[in-house]
Amino acid sequence: MFMRIKQPRFELEITEEAASAFTRYQDWFAVDGDQNADTSAASDVVLSLHLDPQTQRFFLNWQNSSAALKLDVQCASFVESLSRGLATKQGPLNQALGKKTRRIFDATGGWGNDSMLFASQGMVVTTVERNPILAMMLHQAMSTLPLMFEGSSFSNNTFPEIHFGSADQVYKQLKEGSNSDTADVFDCAYFDPMFPPKRKKSAKSNKQMQFAQTLLQGDPDAADIAASLLEQGVRRLVVKRPSYAAVLLPNVEQTFSAKLVDYDVYLNF
């Protein structure tokens, strides 16, 4: 082990082979005092960060009281599946995004599936993730993709640009750093906060969702962030909600429904 970082909800052990790649993400982890601090108190999530020497992508070994799982960002396999014709533009999500959307702000990066879907459709994607572990995993994975897909049809697309931080704060920074009006920076912002729990328990989530649910404990400030994005001038905001939940904000302009989710559209012209 190279380093151990302990934070309120997780403990991260960085292995020696991952140390060099991890260095550029070290500032994303708010570490107070000694990085090898006392770890006598049990963490909710214990993680070990490794580096695949062939792909240069990170993967996590996760151990908790009930599971031991290996997790990574499966961008490459996801893109390959999209290249086989699965990236349709006819569904309710694309209807919600709007026909004219070319530049999109993905406010909740997560494991990158939505960002990669948008990129596969030729959109220019800026992705934000505020959890340092997920942001690090996404950034490292995206940085390896250009070489992996060099010469393929997907190499003509741009890969998502990853930012770490709160979506509204990152949007503000990008807005202030742009030489053009906010409306010319992004056509649409997409916001997919964690779903509120159902009253009745449903089937067990996949391992990536299990990890996110354990680590993040929901998004209690989701409505505040969505409202902040609108206040800052996002001209089209699409919010993904489960069909069993109330809308995140009032004044929904349009709703496009899939089998289990709704895409609520807020316009800000």
- Taking the domains of the chain in order of start, what are their residue ranges? 3-71, 75-267
CATH of domain 75-267: 3.40.50.150
**Weakest mean pLDDT among 52-61, 246-255, 259-268:** 52-61
Decide: 106 and 125 in contact? Cβ < 8 Å.
yes
Residues 165-198 pLDDT 10s: 999 999 999 988 865 554 468 999 999 999 888 7
**In the structure encoding, which two tokens stand for residue 62, read together?**
């996760």
pTM above 0.85, yes or no: yes
Q: What average pLDDT does range 248-266 have in this prediction?
A: 96
| Among 233, 242, 244, 221, residue whose Cα is nearest residue 266 | 233
Query: DSSP E strands: which ranges in the chain?
Result: 3-7, 10-14, 45-51, 58-63, 68-71, 103-106, 124-129, 161-164, 188-191, 236-242, 254-257, 261-267
Collapsed DSSP state (helix, strand, coil) of residue 41: coil
Cα–chain-centroid distance for residue 231?
22
